[in-house]
Amino acid sequence: MFRLFKSQRLRKSSDFEKFRSKDTKSIYAEIFVLKSFKRVSVDTSFHNTTPRIGIITSRKIGNAVTRNRVRRVVREAFRLNFKCFKESHGYLFIALPGIGTKSNKEITNAILNAARLL
């Protein structure tokens, strides 16, 4: 299993703040919210054109084991289905209560369906 590059993840609070300051498209599923925004950059290198993902899971999801499982499933779905996401876009995945009871396959399918709609 390969990891996502640092350039493919939202890691800093300033990255997450961009979602508040920009116009975002949102898809509301019953178990998560997927937000997307177009990243504007002058540099066309690999790290500026690849889609990026950030994941937010709160304690309402469940215990630490459940939250970490959800994060792993989301990252893996993003990594394996990289081509389904638009280039030069940032994605914010916000897990909602109830996602912890879903299977990995259900979560992955829901993410891919939401990505096609954005």
Bridge partners, 27 (sequence order): 34
Contact 26, 34 (CB under 8 A): yes
End-to-end CA distance of the chain: 27
Closest CA to 40 of 12, 21, 56, 27: 21
* Across 63-78, average pLDDT: 93
Q: What domains can be seen in the chain, in order of their start residue?
A: 6-117 (3.30.230.10)
| Amino acid letter, 92 | L
The structure's pTM equals: 0.80
Residue 63: pLDDT above 60?
yes
Contact 53, 6 (CB under 8 A): no
Dig out the tokens for 22 from the structure: 């920009």
* Across 29-50, average pLDDT: 71
